[in-house]
Structure 1
């Protein structure tokens, strides 16, 4: 839909909404309080006037018979609260700062006297939260603008909150979003939930991409007023997620304000990476401007922002590739290789190649055609790599925000905003035509009206449109290379052209299978909220109706993928017939053209889906006594199952008959999945602020929360025959090889038409989604204690817990039987023997989470603020919702996969400080400096972020020789302590985890002898996520110098130091037991980085 039509649609929807209009942002905040006289008696019917300082917006209410007042549906900002009552002196509280999603309490004690006598009271709000059990952390405007942020990404600040984990590096948890988008800065994990479970709201607009869960727009810091992390318990107004990032944008005011800025980084300022001889090539420029102004004072306001990013990053990549000697067939000095064609059925053995050499006439022609795409290396192998390079990754990011606020009258206002971002990422690759191109684009428009119907009722009506486009596609070329090389049974569509994937055991692979994952989605929403204050009750009733249309593209392996794991050139055990460990070479298997695994696909999975979201809620905050508030509410959520427009592209599966079911033939509903109408989500919270201890607050809350089903799983209804046909073959290496490059590898199979006689072609990899689909459900609870110390200090301790059910979980539902608790696979017992395998997306996952959060906070006052947060937590689940290709190991026993979550970080401490140095005019030291002296000694500011974090968990993996497809095989545990010392083949004594900074010392994190390659036809014996990687600590520091240009204009110079102490932050070790790097740390995060910036602020 063209942009103009979208905007017209939204404003028509608004104008056809409620008859009265008012001004609002994300109007989820309120000012409340009680008015008493000097004796403590309540004052009813007092007039309370709330005025927003920046725009002149006025709201008037009266106190109830109990002296209480509530002014709901206010946006964040600074307010003045004035109270008048007959027989009393008027009282005014100025500079009341109201944050997003906050209920701020301002009480008044009136004195008897004439109305001409004015009493001013402190407008400083209470730092404790006395009227809500909600847990969260406000990140205010000063924090957003002043703290050092590498990349200027606001989500980095979200990790300052207790219970929040950033997804910003290899030191974070294993990330499906990062692997799909190649952008680890587009998501965070909140309150022990999966990364796809976090909702991102921008002025009430949902930014979360429903396919993978990342944010479709990452707004500029200069467009953000403030934001709040809401977790574990929040009112019924919010839903569709157990964790929320709630962002409010800046607006125009009665005064001109804005900024112009540029930040510069390059490798000239940077330290070198621990694994690099010199700093990687790097250049980054971030630049932009913002401006807000009155179009008409007290009536019409405008704000605009633009930010650009240009980044060129040299990425250190290491690989071990076959040498020219090996590619010529000469394996002298390597493992002995055996000729697979000499297999003798009588003895069950093979004969070795003479001299351990494959003669040129035996080298497969298709294998030779791959040679130009294998990096040429003839140098020595150093730390397991014979090729090291720094290819350049390119990122160009542009975004803009435009906002208009119209105060039609003191009761009626209109607000509209549009935000747009486009950030394509071109990959860096060590091999020809490697890497994934990521296309990321998003925009949204919102129009919101609020209606102050009476002094006790307010209505908010909102309409919005959101668009998100995200595609991760392997680099393509201008010709059909697969056909040129000689690969059959793969896609011939130009968008899939490229180098097919080849992998060898013990070496780095080349090419890619051409996996394309992406979607575009358009969503339109109408929402209405009615607020009603009745006595001690502050009630809200709301409804949200959303329609979405999504285009899904999930072509998996359209170029083909071939794995060579040395089985065909290994010696065979005369008794078992299995390949003998320590013999054979994967590269030799490749030269002969005999793969152990191969897969490829033809056709298309591209499909359009439609679905609807309906939410209804009621919420009441009941002020039972002066110090006791009950928060209770009920929410109902319904999300319709996505229904395909191209019915020939989707199917269901009948487990009784083993046949596919097609809506095109009327065999199953169009949506495939049954609707789930059980979406009731009650909330109950309590906040107690005892009058005998007014500095203490005791809070507790519990509720049911639903998460959106990850729409990435919808691909399971499209990614199979007949419209998309994928073949997969696994071989054990026994006997004679059944398939060879250029002969019968990936045969071309005709795809039959859909009719009543359709049969799934044998050997197919089938994908299916659970028909009885249910929304993921979270049971969440918390208890917390807050203590204020003085006016600005807060101490908080909180316990939070949750239990997750119906989580997305993948497994091969056609796998052979694995009886009892044994690990041995029983061949020939597949549930559906005509299938190679069926990857099944179910809702059978479970999880639990427990955490202790402790926080010390000093809000900004007298030039200083600090926030320190410690989290101890433990997350356990049966599946962490990871990337494609890592489903559960044993479909017959899910408990084998129960363990610490991929995102389980046991200990995390983070603190941030903002400190205006006390020098210069008006400060503690040199306060009477001259204007010239003040330009030198005054205006300095120091800011820092410090993080201490324990390591993340990883699986120890092994090549999959179980004959079961769609699993990530785990290695065998040998019984040796993974942290014990060992001796290398060269005689060196190694203690894992020691000697990381010394020359020629080990980079081993674990003893590799603690694990072994899993033998064929069984599962590995090691547990899930068994190894915890290295933790880290980090200091980010910035120093500002502000130069006063005029009374309202400041020029700011910024020097920012990331990892200021240059502490090495190691990545998790290589966990592939078959890799020559197994157990070793192979990479580290960026070292010390210096960024310089210049800002003009007015």
Structure 2
């Protein structure tokens, strides 16, 4: 984790550029193409005979913003425009004795090296030759492999949950990967061409938004923009340049949308509900109805010029409101068991009590825990004294003789194995409502977990001069959910506590041209993300430890929640008593700050 506190201003003073230039000249042994998410446009100018045309004036025109970039063809007829933002361009070539030639609609994708070769005709009457660029099927300027997902694909392809990262699977060799992240992660865990999990890097406008959380073994993003906010992205899989050296496998390189010389916007609402969604094929065949579905993904975009041909803005907002329906089944204690009478366990196990009160089936018999003797042969206890008829409320345990005279010895009275804390916990379990399924599966309930998410992006592009182009973006996301409380009490076992997440992402990209052949590009990025999961009962105005009778010194750790309570060896593999209280990892907060400063000379 690295923080960078150097201030960034819109139009760098010339002395700042000069200082960076001198430092790079001293430190870099050679020049390299500086790209990030930008690319290059290059080509060769020839005459009708195939001879190259040197010293021709070449102009690159952004067809949407009006930006113009100038270059001159070299002795070999080649021209080059470096560090050009993705977009659609026209290439204009002029030379003495030749007609003015224009090639329009040259598409430059993210981190791409586009080629536009022009043939200049001998001049006659003043005229202009205009041709339309043909989409190249083979990249000839580099050996980078990958897949570009452009605006058309993002807009047209179906995304059931509107998660942009799902489109990474369009790239050859990309497949999904199991992870341990659960519901708290954003993005999609994927691997490329057999690489290890969590080895990819996710870039947004040249700055990383990768979540460097190692425990889940996942490729996760701190911030995933709305599909409406992204112009295109590229899954770069191999042979990419050294500037992407942080990644061990692949790079997802996204570029967000910008304003143009005309105002444009949209308003949308993607709705999913029980009426419009299709049922699962297997459920439909079995006659099982579709589970309730409620999801609204809504938002708006707006962008345009601040000053035409010079300054532009783009803003987008997205909100998601959804409910996740879930059904829970488990076993809950009967009224008799809450009072200490567990005789029904023997019957449920298929046994019966003999005249002494012992169950004929071992799994249906309760034993005095103080009577067990450790068996060194198999590492388990040897049961000694059974509890007649499983009536804990009538049984008096001798306890541990070694504890005689201490506060830890059991009182000599019937029911002394019943712990008062455990009895209070059992009273907070719901009553059985599905007795036909047996004592281990006698309770069922359905409920919904509401989810709320809000996020926005704002981007400013500024052309200060023919030499200086700057782009800045700020993104923010905040979300929360409160899982369904299936017990309706503070020992709820069905979901985690309330979950809060946030992300703040800031990036600035600056390109400064010292000469037609010398370019300085700088990228500053900062990402802050965090998550907070609260205890189940954190929103309740009570002291759960005191309510259950736990000693108050347990609160010294600052955790105002119910301890995790596990009930084992009391149910078959498919059902039984649910655990209660908080998950051992269910009350925590984590965050991450990631800073990035990249300066390159080309």
The Cα of 1:135 is off from its aligned counterpart by 1.9
Cα shift at 1:428: 3.0
Task: Pick the aligned partner of 1:463 from 521, 524, 531.
Answer: 524
Query: Could you say if the C-alpha distance between residues 300 and 284 of structure 1 is closer, same or farther in structure 2, counting changes exceeding 3 Å?
Result: same
Candidates 325, 343, 346, aligned match of 1:332: 346
Return the alpha-carbon distance in structure 2 between the equivalents of residues 348 and 294 of structure 1. Answer: 82
Distance 1:62 1:79 in 2: 17
Distance 1:407 1:246, change over 3 A: same
Partners of 2:440 and 2:165 lie apart in 1 by 36
Equivalent-residue separation in structure 1 for 2:591 and 2:521 (angstroms): 29
Match of 2:463 in 1: 407
- Report the structure, 1 or 2, having the larger helix content: 2
* 2:317 aligns with one of 306, 310, 314: 306
From 449, 455, 458, the counterpart of 1:393: 449
Contact 1:191 1:232 survives alignment (8 Å): no
The reply to whether residue 18 of structure 1 matches residue 73 of structure 2 is no
Cα distance in 1 between the residues matched to 2:565 and 2:291: 28
Aligned to 1:352: 386
Match of 1:269 in 2: 276
Corresponding residue SS for 1:209: coil
Q: Tell me which moved more, 306-315 or 59-68.
A: 59-68
Give the counterpart of 2:581 among 495, 500, 511. Answer: 511
Using a 3 Å threshold, how does the CA distance of structure 1 residues 475 and 514 change in structure 2: closer, same or farther? farther
TM-score by length of 1: 0.44
Q: Does 1:288 align with 2:299?
A: yes
Query: RCO higher in 1 or 2 (8 Å CA, sep ≥ 6)?
Result: 2
Note the C-alpha offset of 1:511.
2.1
Taking structure 1 as reference, are residues 240 and 499 closer, same or farther at Cα in structure 2, changes over 3 Å only?
Answer: same
CA distance in 2, matches of 1:194, 1:374: 44
Matched, 1:447 2:502: no
* Equivalence for 1:162: 172
In 1, Cα distance between the equivalents of 2:287 and 2:333? 23
The counterpart of 1:317, out of the listed 328, 345, 349, is 328
Residue 508 of structure 2 aligns to a residue in which SS? strand
Hey, what's the Cα distance between the residues in 1 that align with 2:124 and 2:438?
88
Q: Does the alignment pair 1:178 with 2:182?
A: yes
User: Who is 2:84 aligned against?
Assistant: 74
1:481 aligns with 2:544: yes
Correspondence 1:756-767 to 2 at 5 A: none
- How much does 1:408 deviate? 1.7
- SS at structure 2 position matched to 1:10: coil
- Secondary structure in structure 1 of the residue aligned to 2:158: coil
Equivalent in the alignment of 1:197: 199
CA pair 384-34 structure 1, distance change in 2 beyond 3 A:
farther
Give the direction of change, closer, same or farther, for the CA distance of 1:99–1:387 in structure 2 (3 Å limit).
Answer: farther
Per-residue deviation at 1:290? Answer: 1.0
Distance (Å, rounded) in 2 between the aligned partners of 1:12 and 1:146: 36
| 2:105 paired residue number | 95
| Residue 378 of structure 2 is aligned to residue 376 of structure 1 | no
* TM-aligned CA distance change 1:76 to 1:344, over 3 Å: closer
C-alpha spacing 1:177/1:115, structure 2 compared with 1 (3 Å): farther
Distance 1:271 1:122 in 2: 44
Q: 1:306 to 1:349 in 2, by over 3 A?
A: closer
- Correspondence for 1:128: 138
Decide whether aligned partners of structure 1 residues 344 and 386 sit closer, same or farther in structure 2, where only a CA change above 3 A counts. closer
Say whether the 8 Å CA contact 2:187–2:220 is kept in structure 1. no
Indicate which of 243, 249, 258 corresponds to 1:251: 258
The 2-side partners of 1:41 and 1:320 are apart by: 86
Preserved CA contact (<8 Å) 2:10 2:470: no
> Residues of 2 paired with 1:386 and 1:79: CA distance?
68
Q: Please state how far the C-alpha of 1:325 moved relative to its aligned partner.
A: 5.2
Give the match for residue 223 of structure 2. 217
Moved more, 434-443 or 110-119: 110-119
2:233 pairs with 1:227: yes
Deviations 1:575-623 (A, max 9, x none): xxxxxxxxxxxxxxxxxxxxxxxxxxxxxxxxxxxxxxxxxxxxxxxxx
Q: Which has the larger radius of gyration?
A: 2
Partners of 1:164 and 1:356 lie apart in 2 by: 57
Cα deviation for residue 83 of structure 1 reads 2.0
Q: Gapped runs of 5+ residues in structure 1?
A: 1-5, 167-172, 532-1098
Q: What is the aligned partner in structure 1 of residue 561 from structure 2?
A: 497
Shift of 1:29: 0.9
- RMSD over aligned Cα, in angstroms? 3.2
CA distance in 2, matches of 1:192, 1:463: 32
Equivalent residues in 2 for 1:31-50, closer than 5 Å: 31-50=41-60
Q: For the Cα contact (< 8 Å) 1:13–1:463, is it kept in 2? A: no
Question: Cα distance 1:382–1:455, how it changes in 2: closer, same or farther (>3 A)?
Answer: farther
Q: Please give the secondary structure, in 2, of the residue aligned with 1:156.
A: helix
Q: Judge conservation of contact 1:11–1:447 (CA < 8 Å) in 2.
A: no
Equivalent pair of 1:280/1:390 in contact (CA under 8 Å): no
Question: d(CA) in 1 for partners of 2:136 and 2:591?
Answer: 45
Residues 363, 463 of structure 1: alpha-carbon distance in 2 compared, 3 angstrom cutoff: same
TM-fit CA distance, 1:256: 1.0
1:155 CA displacement: 0.9
Closer, same or farther in 2 for the Cα pair 1:185/1:357, shift >3 Å?
farther
Name the CA distance, whole Å, in 1 between partners of 2:437 and 2:208.
Answer: 50
Match in the other structure for 1:342? 371
Counterpart CA distance in 2 for 1:321 and 1:13 is: 68
- Give the distance between the partners of 1:72 and 1:325, measured in 2 at CA: 80
Kindly provide the CA deviation profile for residues 100-120 of structure 1, in whole angstroms up to 9, marking residues without a partner as x.
011112222333334834222
Query: CA 1:343/1:400 → structure 2, altered by over 3 Å: closer, same or farther?
Result: closer
Matches within 5 A, 1:827-846: none
Judging changes above 3 Å, is the alpha-carbon distance between structure 1 residues 496 and 36 closer, same or farther for their aligned structure 2 residues?
A: farther
Structure 2 spans left out of the alignment, 5+ residues: 21-33, 350-362, 376-380, 395-414
